[in-house]
């Protein structure tokens, strides 16, 4: 749901009533991952996607039904090759989708009544707060009951990094306490997944399964070196939803005119700027300076940080010379092995745009566990992420 937070937040501000279908879990090859969503408002307008087209029509109808009944529902779609007209995933996977109605109200207006109005209206505040937070780039997570007592299905709770929360799951206070604690931990890791709370923890007489969706600020991409290749990489980085910073010590090159798509442009020595930053494990650092006086002090620091990716541009000869310089300043072989250089995958790239694509491809492969090999003729999984297994919802057959 939070993947379409910008659009849904506008719907909430406009007081629209809508139903949102969210991918809960997948098994096998599935086009969208948990958290992906499709929403339909009372006028029939649809945004988002849950399957890349395979089951969109059926999910659209389920959203319209939820708007009529006011009830949340969990549906499973699998692969059916016995009936060519059956609704299912042509890729052969299984996907669980949770559909819930949201009766938002315009600012200053009373919430809509309607079928199951109490349940729906009680969820409007935490869901609206979650959408607003995600839309503004704030860290927050929303937990919703997708399996458990019928009267609690769809109940939502918003949790912030400091542990404060909005809303209630509607059961025993112990359920809220457990949910807040577990959701906060998942938010800290930036994870979207399902979570089972046993009967003892829920105090509801039976286990409940939560869908926890985390929204965290965009990961950082820092591009060091304000060159033509950097301009193309900035555009690709923004396309991949990174918060992109360009850093160069030369003010004549590090300008807004040359990098209109960058979120930030910093004029400073690269190593000094890096020292001032607090980076998390999702950050990627792309060193395009191609000058030892910049590269060595920068990489000396970068390769000791717990970031996701450190790549440096240069020929193989430059790479070997750079490695020796880094050994001379005390870096270990283990630290040097983290350096991706020459930067990027072998695509035969020539232009700045092609080179940026090769760098982005390596970043994605590193992040997702890909090999960078052609899929044609391969027998390895297309999606490398391990399936999430939580109770019945996430079980792997």
Q: Can you read off the two tokens belonging to residue 302?
A: 């970068």
Q: Are 182 and 153 in contact (CB under 8 A)?
A: no
Per residue of the chain (397 residues), what is the pLDDT tens digit?
A: 888 999 999 999 999 999 999 999 887 666 678 899 999 999 999 999 987 667 888 899 999 999 999 999 999 887 554 543 445 555 557 889 999 999 865 444 444 444 433 334 567 889 999 999 998 888 999 999 999 888 888 999 999 988 899 999 986 788 999 999 999 989 887 889 998 988 776 666 688 999 999 988 889 999 999 999 999 999 999 999 899 999 999 999 999 999 999 999 999 999 999 999 999 888 999 999 988 889 999 999 999 999 999 999 988 999 999 999 999 999 999 999 999 999 999 999 999 999 999 999 999 999 888 888 888 877 766 665 543 333 333 332 2
Q: Are 74 and 100 in contact (CB under 8 A)?
A: no
Give kind and range of the element (H or E) at residue 222: strand 220-224
pLDDT for res 369: 85
Burial 325-344 (b: 16+ CB within 10 A, else e): ebeeeebeeebbebbbbebb
Q: Are 266 and 245 in contact (CB under 8 A)?
A: yes
pLDDT for res 373: 85
Q: Can you read off the two tokens belonging to residue 353?
A: 């745009």
Is the entire prediction scored with pTM above 0.75?
Answer: no
DSSP state of 4: G
Burial of 376 (0-12, 13-18, 19+ CB in 10 A): exposed
Coil vs helix vs strand at 61:
helix
pLDDT for res 266: 97
Q: Could you give the CA distance from residue 270 to residue 297 in angstroms, rounded to a whole number? A: 8
Task: For each of the domains in the chain, give its residue range(s) and CATH number, in order of start.
Answer: 1-108 (no CATH), 120-217 (no CATH), 220-368 (3.40.50.720)
pLDDT for res 83: 44
Place of tokens 């503004």: 136
Q: Are 100 and 147 in contact (CB under 8 A)?
A: no
């Amino acid at each position: 749901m939070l993947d379409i937070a910008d659009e849904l937040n506008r719907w909430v501000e406009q007081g629209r009533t809508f139903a949102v279908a969210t991918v809960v879990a997948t098994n096998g090859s599935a086009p969208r991952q948990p958290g992906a969503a499709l929403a339909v408002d009372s006028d029939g307008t649809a945004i988002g996607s849950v399957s890349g087209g395979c089951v969109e029509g059926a999910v659209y109808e389920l959203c319209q039904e939820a708007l009529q009944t006011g009830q949340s529902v969990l549906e499973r779609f699998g692969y059916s090759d016995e009936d060519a007209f059956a609704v299912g995933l042509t890729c052969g996977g299984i996907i669980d989708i949770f559909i819930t109605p949201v009766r938002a109200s315009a600012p200053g207006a009373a919430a809509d009544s309607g079928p199951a109005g109490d349940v729906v209206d009680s969820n409007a505040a935490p869901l609206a707060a979650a959408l607003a937070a995600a839309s503004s780039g704030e860290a927050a997570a929303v937990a919703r009951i997708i399996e458990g007592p019928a009267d609690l299905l769809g109940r939502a709770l918003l949790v912030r990094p400091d542990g404060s929360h909005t809303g209630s799951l509607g059961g025993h206070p112990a359920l809220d306490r457990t949910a807040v604690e577990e959701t906060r931990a998942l938010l800290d890791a930036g994870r979207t997944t399902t979570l089972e709370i046993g009967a003892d923890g829920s105090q509801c007489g039976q286990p409940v399964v939560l869908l926890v969706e985390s929204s965290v600020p965009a990961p950082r991409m820092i591009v060091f070196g304000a060159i033509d290749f950097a301009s193309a990489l900035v555009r690709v980085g923004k396309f991949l939803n990174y918060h992109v910073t360009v850093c160069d010590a030369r003010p004549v090159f590090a300008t807004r005119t040359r990098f209109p798509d960058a979120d930030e442009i910093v004029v400073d020595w690269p190593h000094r700027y890096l020292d001032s930053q607090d980076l998390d494990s999702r950050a990627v650092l792309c060193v395009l300076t191609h000058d030892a006086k910049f590269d060595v002090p920068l990489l000396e620091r970068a390769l000791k940080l717990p970031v996701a990716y450190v790549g440096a541009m240069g020929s193989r000869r430059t790479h070997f010379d750079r490695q020796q310089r880094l050994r001379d300043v005390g870096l270990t072989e283990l630290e040097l092995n983290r350096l991706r250089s020459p930067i990027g995958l072998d695509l035969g790239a020539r232009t700045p745009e092609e080179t940026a694509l090769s760098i982005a491809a390596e970043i994605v492969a590193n992040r997702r566990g890909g090999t960078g090999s052609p899929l044609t003729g391969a027998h390895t999984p297309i999606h490398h992420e391990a399936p999430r297994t939580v109770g019945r919802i996430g079980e792997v057959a």
